[in-house]
């Protein structure tokens, strides 16, 4: 059974810092990995999708990497802003086509 873990569970940083969020998964037979953002009480916004054959994806200040063999992914946020404050979730798609989510990292960026 796939298990996804995210570390840290919560993170507080001053504005302008670069930061890294970590995600690990137990079963490397994945189709892809997605990073999502969730604002309080809202749905999920897709940030980046990395296919199993890819090593990284970039979108603006966000960069996500994937090391499938070791079961790890990182989300790098450059020059963090208060508007980046949210919960960040990683999820993997494997057999069964369903997403298995990690518990999320709650990020607070202080002005």
Partner 1 sequence: KAGVTQTPRYLIKTRGQQVTLSCSPISGHRSVSWYQQTPGQGLQFLFEYFSETQRNKGNFPGRFSGRQFSNSRSEMNVSTLELGDSALYLCASRLLVQETQYFGPGTRLLVL
64 binding partner 1? (CB under 8 A): no
Q: Which one, 80 or 86, has the nearer CB to partner 1?
A: 86
Q: Phi and psi of 83, rounded to 5°?
A: -65, -10
- What contacts 52, CB < 8 A, 6 or more positions away? 30, 31, 32, 33, 66, 68
CB of 65 to partner 1, least distance (A): 18
Alpha-carbon radius of gyration of the chain? 13
- Contact map string, positions 11 to 50, toward partner 1, x by CB under 8 A: --------------------xx-x-x----xxxxxx--x-
Closer residue to partner 1, CB minimum distance, 4 or 109: 4
Instruction: Report the alpha-carbon distance of residue 13 to residue 4 in Å, rounded.
Output: 24
Compute the CA torsion angle 108, 72, 33, 8 (nearest 10 deg): -20
100 binds partner 1 (CB under 8 A): yes
Q: Which residues bind partner 1 (CB under 8 A)?
A: 31-32, 34, 36, 41-46, 49, 51, 89, 91, 93, 96-104
């Amino acid at each position: 059974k796939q298990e996804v873990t995210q570390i840290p569970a919560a993170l507080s940083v001053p504005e302008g810092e670069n930061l890294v969020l970590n995600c690990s998964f137990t079963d490397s037979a994945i189709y892809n990995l997605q990073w999502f953002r969730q604002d309080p009480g809202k749905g999920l916004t897709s940030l980046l999708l990395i296919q199993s054959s890819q090593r990284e994806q970039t979108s603006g200040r966000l960069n996500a990497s994937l090391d499938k063999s070791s079961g790890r992914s990182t989300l790098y946020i450059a020059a963090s802003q208060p508007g980046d404050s949210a919960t960040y979730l990683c999820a993997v798609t494997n057999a069964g086509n369903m997403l298995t989510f990690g518990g999320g990292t709650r990020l607070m960026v202080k002005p």
